[in-house]
Every structure is written in C-alpha cells, then in structure tokens.
Amino acid sequence: MTTTYTPMIQQYLQVKSEYDDAFLFFRLGDFYEMFFNDAIEASNILEITLTSRDGGSTDKIPMCGVPFHSAEGYIETLVQKGHKVAICEQTEDPRAAKGIVRREVVKVVTPGTITEGKTIDANANHFIGAADQLDEGRYALAYVDLATGEGKAEIVSGDERTLIGEIEALGMKEIVVRERLHIALNEGMAKRDIVLSMEDGDAKKSTDGLVSTIPSDMTEACEILVSYLKRTQKSSLDHLRPFEYIQKSGKLSIDANSMRNLELVQSIRNGSKEGTLFWLLDETATAMGARKMRIWIHQPLADKPAIEDRLTIVSDLIENYFLRDELKSSLKEVYDLERLSGRISMGSASGRDLAQLRNSLRCVPYLKDALLQSGHKRLERFSEQLDPCVEALDLLEASIAENPPLSVKEGGIIKDGYNEKLDQYRDASRNGKEWLAGLERDERERTGIKSLKIGYNRIFGYYIEITKSNVHLADLTRYERKQTLANAERYITSELKEKEELILNAEAEGQDLEYTLFCTVRDELKTHIRRVQQLASVLSELDVLLSFATVSEKYRFVKPEFHDGRALEIKNGRHPVVEKMMDHSLYVPNSCTLAEDANMLLITGPNMSGKSTFMRQVALTVIMAQIGCYVPCEYAKLPVTDQIFTRIGAADDLASGQSTFMMEMMESRNAIANATDKSLLLFDEIGRGTSTYDGMSLAQAMMEFIHDEIGANTLFSTHYHELTKLDAELNRLVNVHVAAMEREGRVVFLHKVMAGAADKSYGIHVAQLAGLPDSIVVRAKTLLDAFENAEQTTITDTSNEQLSFFDLQEEQDTMTETDKSVLEDMKQADLMNLTPMQAMQLILDWQKQLKQ
C-alpha cells in the first residue's frame, strides 16, 4: 500500500531529502517542527516531548518542536554535540499564499560555522577547515573563522596523523574534504569528535579573489572551503578576507603534541585556560587581542628582524608607563570589530551592534594621537596604520541612536533628523499621544469621573473606559459603546476614532520605514568592512604588545638577545606559569647553557625533582622570545629556533604500558623525522614504558642519532644512569643533574640543576614521600640492597652463576614453606627486564604472601 502524505508533509520530505545529514528545523507558525527520525533523535538529545500528528498516512508521524524565539539554544546544543541543523523558513506571507506556504532552507548551522552562543569563546578563533592531499606526505590545509572573516592556508608535511594533529592544535570542530580524503581521515576524526564533511561538484571555482596570494597547488583546498561556506550560509560573505599563506620558513613550528605537553593554550589536567602560557600572558583589553595572542602562541615567528621589531615595541611600551595606561584605557572602549564586521556582512547585526561599531571608531583618533606623540618611531608607525574610517563613522553618527534597542523592528534605532519622512511619522505619533493625554484630562473634567482613562489594545484599538458605577455620569449621546467588561464599559467617540487611525498608521509606517532605513545603513557599511577589518588587525596587534609589556614588567621578565648561531644561554631561568601559581620567592631558578660544540644535555635526577619543569621552562622561554615577549630569567641569548618537538608525559604519574609506549615512540619518530639542526628537542625519560634493557637501548640509539645526524639543541632526561657514560663517546653531550640530598633518611629535593650526573635515583624515597605504607618502604629498601648486591655479585662471578642473596645456613630450619617460595621467586625474577610498575607489583605480591 502506497503511503499518501499531506501536502505539507510532502513539502517537508522534499526539503529534507536535500539536507539528509542535518536536523531540519521546519517553520510552522511560531514553532520549528521536526518529524520522523529527526523528531525521535532530537527529542532525546534536547530532552523535549515527543508527540505525533496525522500526516495523511495510516500511522501517526513522530513530531517534536521548539519555539522559534528560543530556538538558538536548542540549535547550539545540537551543534555542540556534532550535528548540523538546517533552518527552513516560510519565505512568503501565508495570507498571500495560494495553497501551501513556500518554505526554503535559509541557513545550515554546523559545528564549524556556528558563530554565536553561550559556548562560543569570543577570545578564541572558531575555525572551520578544508584539506586536500597534494602528493605523498604533503597536504594543503585552509581554514576560516566565519565570525571574523580571518582565513589562512598552509602546507602540512607528514602523514594523515600529522594533518590531524595540526587540525586538532588549531581547535577545529569541522573539516571539509573531497571524497578521496574522506576515507583516509574518517576514523581519526571520529575519535577526536571532529565532524568530517564532504564537498564535491562544480561549484568550487568561485573564490571571489580570496586566493590571490596562495600558491596555485593550494587553491583547491580554499575553493572547497569557500564553496561549502556559500552552500551552507546562503548569505553574503563579503567579510571573508583573502587567505593568508602561512610560510613555515618564517614561523616556529610547534606540533599538536608539543602544544599539549607544554600547555600553551590548554591545561592538560582539565582543558581550561588556567595554568597555561596563554593564561599567564593574556592581559589584553579586547577579544580581538586575545584571539591574536592565541594565534601568535601557536605560530611564533622564526624571522630574526621581525622578532626584534616586536621586542623593540615592547621595550618602548615598558619605558612609557603613562602612554601604556592611556592606550589600554582607550582600547577597553573598543568592541570586537572583527565579529561586528562579520555580523554586518552576513546581515545579522542589530542596532546595538552598529552603535558598538560607532563607539569603537570614536576611540581611534585618541589612540592615533597618543601613539603619534610617543616619540618612538615604531609606535608612530602604528599611528600611521590606524585608519579612523571617517566615512563609516560619519554615517553611524548621523543615523544610529545613542542607545538603540536590541530588536531591529520595534523602532528607536534611527536618530531624529536623519530622515524627514520618519521624523513626520514620529511627530504624528508623539503629538498623537500628547493629544490622547489631553483628551483624557478633558473627559475627566467634563464628566467628573476621576477614574476615567483612555487605553489601547490590539483588537479594539483606543477606547475610553468607565467603571459601571460611573456610567450614569457619562454623556452617552457622545459615546459609542465598543466593549462591555464585568465591571466597566468601553466607549469611543468620532474624534478619538479619527485620531486613532492617524496615530496607529504613523507608528506602524514609522517602524516599517525605520527598519528599511536601518537595513540600508547596514548594507552601506558593507562597503567599509575591509577598512574596519584592517583597523581591527592593527588594534589587536597593539593590544597584544601592550599585554606583553604589562606582563613583562609585572613578573620581572628581561629582553632576550638573538644571534645567528645555535648556542643557547639562559641565566637563572624560571618556569613563568609555575612561578605565578606558587609563591615566586620560593621558586628555584635554573640556568641552561647549550654551547655551539656542546648542545645536548643529558639530565638525571630523582623523579619529582624538577627535570620536566626545567625542560619545559627552556621551551617556554624560546616560545615567549619568538612571539616578541620578554622572558623569565636574568639574561637570555638565544638562537632562532625553527621547530620544537617534545616527548614529555602528560603528567608524571602516567601508567606505563603498551599504549603509552606506542605514543612515546610515535612522538619520538615524528621529532626525529622532521627536526633540523635549528630545532629544539625535549625528550623526557624515553623508554620507561618498556623493559629496562629495551628502554635503555632505545634511549641511547636515539641520542646517538640526534647527536650524529641531526645536531639539534636537545634536552634529554633519563632514569637510566648507565647512559651518563655516553659523554665519553658523544663529544657534544654534557651531563647535568637535578640535585637532591638525604636528611635523616629522607630525600630533600633542591630543584637545582648542577653539572655532572646524579649518583642515585632516590626512587624509594619518592615512594615514601608519596605516602606508601612504611612496611612497603622498609621492605623495598631491603630488597634494593639485595638486588644491588646480587647484581654486583653476578657481574664479578666468573662462573656467571648468580649467588644467593642471603646466607641461609643457620636459618634454613626456621623458614616456612612460604618464606622459601618467596625467596625462590626472588632468585628467579628477571628484574632487569621488568618495568617499574611490574617490579612494584612483584614486591606487593611477595609482601602479601609473607604477611599470610
């Protein structure tokens, strides 16, 4: 039996067939309705009631809906969970429709194109990207922030994992690809909750001049992205800026793993901003500045003149406190010009948005003048770059009210005097209301009824209301009854009826005209968008440099020096984030020296002594210097670093095992495959996820390869003390250790990096500090002595037979069978091929047996 649906459901199914990968919000009156599977799924996700309706078939059709005036929150919830939402609106007046009302999808909201909402961080870019494979091991990656119009493109060298890592590092929620790349990326994207969308067909060629500075082999990725945005947004995208080509030669490359390990913009522990380098440095006054700082941290400079130019501007700002304070005060009055430009371009800007643009442009002359009077050439250059956008400001000053309402259709947006016809309507409306107030006074005097009032409702219009107890006082020859209430009568007079038509027409026609004028102003502003965006770029850069100056002065940072070699010298360096989170007077600074002929440090010392912190602070110092900020130390002379690679555990308590070891090896392979002699490598305890001999062998082989084949500046921490002997074989390797001392049987960490190798590991002392039961600690010390004695005996025994741990001649008769069993297990244990966790488990098993 063929199912026959009503015309409205047939219309729904036709639209839905074109957007089968999205929830279809189908406008019916004051609601967006969903049907069939959309309704079933959406009701569960949004926790709204699932109902049903008659659609013309024999069975009821599942249905759910949300009010159109509160739909944004529901849409945002669906999108945040990785879904797309197609908004289908009524595109003709139902009163004029001949049959079913015409409906069309006016916008598709996706995880990468959502621009507003409670979960959207205005201080971070919200990129959507497109990827295209150029050849084996090379990908083009283009990405756009739809809210700001900012677009960039870059080459990613490596395999699919490298590409996904870069996408993840940029925080993208959606990637658009052709079908051939969809298969390769599908699984990896799904694991990271990144939506993978496809774009195919012939509509790709229209990029409106956005790719003029992009290499020709990268244009397809840009075309894919622009095509997808046009197809989903269905509105003007005039605010999209030409794609900026990110040349790797001019940037310090930091892969996704290193960004995560170094906690540059996101904390490993909870994913928040707190505890990150961005958290430390961000004292920006505008959202534009905060976004630019994130981008700078993700892509530091690798060009010496450009770095030194930024550092000089920071120096100038540090020297001029009063100028800095004046500039920051003015910037606090500047709204988010980039996002305002986006709303204007896409036709979603309100009157309040235009007022914010006007108020922001008012600040520019003060900023220009302050910079021009600074007496510093580079700050004067900033002044020259600030375009006051006079034409746009003049238009806004003339047209937009000082404090317009949020709604764009209820009046109050346009200034008096801007349009003569609108002024006439307003005059009629205002005079009419004054006339009504006068009429009310006159009627009260004429009738003597003090409670008489003139009111209004949308159904009956204006009326004179008299309570029933006073009706006998009214002149009913003048009054025409309009409505009877329980305790009052409502009347109208011929005079009031005439005035009512004039007032109501003036209000309605005035609001219609005002909305038309507002749209005209908004459209005219589109011609100034490029200039406003350029102004925003300059202001955001100034904002970031002001923040660098403020933070550098507050935390006693110093200006770094750069040279053309690869030697690195940091005197009494500090980890700036750790220092901020603790009492800075308690922080122990450490120096780091990598010489031209000795640029590999092998760092030993106990766990928890500060090896990882020392390594991270060196990397953060390099990054801070190359984004143009002062650095946390007494003195720094640095090379220009091209790449930073880290293999540092997400936390010092990561459990060892196959998955951890595999991640360790993959990150190490990525570093070794891509590093150059201008790179900085940080390896923290390579090999701890496997057996002792395996780990030691791998660590040594990596060190030898980096030393002989790459020559990069390298910090390599290890718990394998045997590796410290490599300084005799590798002439550029230097041993250092993080000092510790024993006091009354307990270890005290000095957190001081000193020359030479550590003499012991203090592993059991660390376990004691961690709160392990005393019985385990005591037993572990006994076993450690036994193992060390056994190992020494094994080495010196010419017969290669391991000697007994203890002399048991006198105790043989008193030992239980359990004692003997444990002792035998200890003799047979292959300790050198166990991980630390496996060894600890053995000790716990033996203790349990002995206690029983």
Burial class of 59 by CB neighbour count within 10 A (0 to 12, 13 to 18, 19+): exposed
Q: Are residues 752 and 664 in the same domain?
A: yes
- Name the domain boundary from 717, 743, 766: 766
Asked if residue 478 belongs to a domain, the reply is yes
Asked if residue 445 belongs to a domain, the reply is yes
- Name the domain boundary from 90, 109, 128: 109
Q: pLDDT of 692-725, one tens digit each? A: 677 788 888 889 999 999 999 999 998 878 888 9
Which residue(s) pair with 66 in the sheet?
Answer: 32
Coil/strand/helix, residue 461: strand
Q: Are residues 679 and 589 in the same domain?
A: yes
Which pLDDT belongs to residue 160?
Answer: 87
Report the alpha-carbon distance of residue 714 to residue 710 in Å, rounded: 10
Which pLDDT belongs to residue 105?
Answer: 96
Number of domains in the chain: 4
> Which residues fall in the annotated binding site?
605-612
Q: Are residues 437 and 560 in the same domain?
A: no
Sheet holding 174-177, edge to edge: 195-198, 174-177, 127-135, 138-145, 150-157, 244-245
Burial class of 399 by CB neighbour count within 10 A (0 to 12, 13 to 18, 19+): buried
Q: What CATH number is given to the structural domain containing 463?
A: 1.10.1420.10
Q: What CATH number is given to the structural domain containing 48?
A: 3.40.1170.10
- Sequence-distant (6+) residues with CB within 8 A of 110 are 22, 79, 84, 128, 174, 195, 197, 232
Q: By the 8 A CB rule, do 46 and 78 touch?
A: yes
Distances (CA, A) of 738 to 440, 573, 593, 594, 847: 89, 14, 15, 17, 32
Asked if residue 579 belongs to a domain, the reply is yes
- Name the domain boundary from 56, 81, 109: 109
The stretches of 155-303 forming alpha helices (DSSP H) are 160-169, 179-191, 219-233, 256-262, 277-281, 287-298
Coil/strand/helix, residue 336: coil
Token readout for 362 is 């008012």
Distances (CA, A) of 805 to 13, 168, 796, 802, 833: 81, 53, 15, 9, 19
Which pLDDT belongs to residue 765?
Answer: 54
Q: Are residues 583 and 446 in the same domain?
A: no
Asked if residue 81 belongs to a domain, the reply is yes
Asked if residue 843 belongs to a domain, the reply is yes
Which pLDDT belongs to residue 62?
Answer: 95
**Nearest of 390, 403, 388 to residue 356 by alpha carbon:** 403
Q: By the 8 A CB rule, do 757 and 601 touch?
A: no
Which pLDDT belongs to residue 548?
Answer: 98
Q: Are residues 671 and 794 in the same domain?
A: no
Question: Which regions of the chain are under pLDDT 50?
Answer: 1, 203, 650-658, 794-810
Would you state the torsion angle of the CA atoms of residues 834, 837, 839, 843, taken in this order, to the nearest 10 degrees?
-160
Distances (CA, A) of 236 to 315, 347, 524, 526, 574: 42, 8, 13, 10, 49
Report the alpha-carbon distance of residue 442 to residue 70 in Å, rounded: 45
Asked if residue 276 belongs to a domain, the reply is no
- Sequence-distant (6+) residues with CB within 8 A of 414 are 399, 400, 401, 422, 514, 517, 518, 521
- Sequence-distant (6+) residues with CB within 8 A of 597 are 731, 732
Report the alpha-carbon distance of residue 354 to residue 359 in Å, rounded: 9
Which pLDDT belongs to residue 805?
Answer: 40
Which pLDDT belongs to residue 766?
Answer: 59
Q: Are residues 682 and 778 in the same domain?
A: no
Q: What is the largest CA-CA distance in the chain?
A: 134
Radius of gyration of the chain (CA): 36
Q: Are residues 760 and 779 in the same domain?
A: no
Q: Are residues 642 and 582 in the same domain?
A: yes
Coil/strand/helix, residue 35: strand
Asked if residue 132 belongs to a domain, the reply is no
Quick count: other Cβ atoms within 10 Å of Cβ 117? Answer: 14
Q: Are residues 762 and 777 in the same domain?
A: no
- DSSP run (H or E) holding 454: strand 453-457
Which pLDDT belongs to residue 140?
Answer: 94
Three-state secondary structure of 634-668: CEEEEECCCEEEEECCCCCCCCCCHHHHHHHHHHH
Which residue(s) pair with 37 in the sheet?
Answer: none
Q: Are residues 732 and 712 in the same domain?
A: yes
Q: Are residues 710 and 751 in the same domain?
A: yes
Q: Are residues 601 and 649 in the same domain?
A: yes
> Which residues fall in the annotated binding site for ATP?
605-612
Report the alpha-carbon distance of residue 714 to residue 615 in Å, rounded: 10
Asked if residue 403 belongs to a domain, the reply is no
Give the range of the structural domain holding residue 466, as residue numbers without chain letter. 427-501
Token readout for 513 is 């005209």
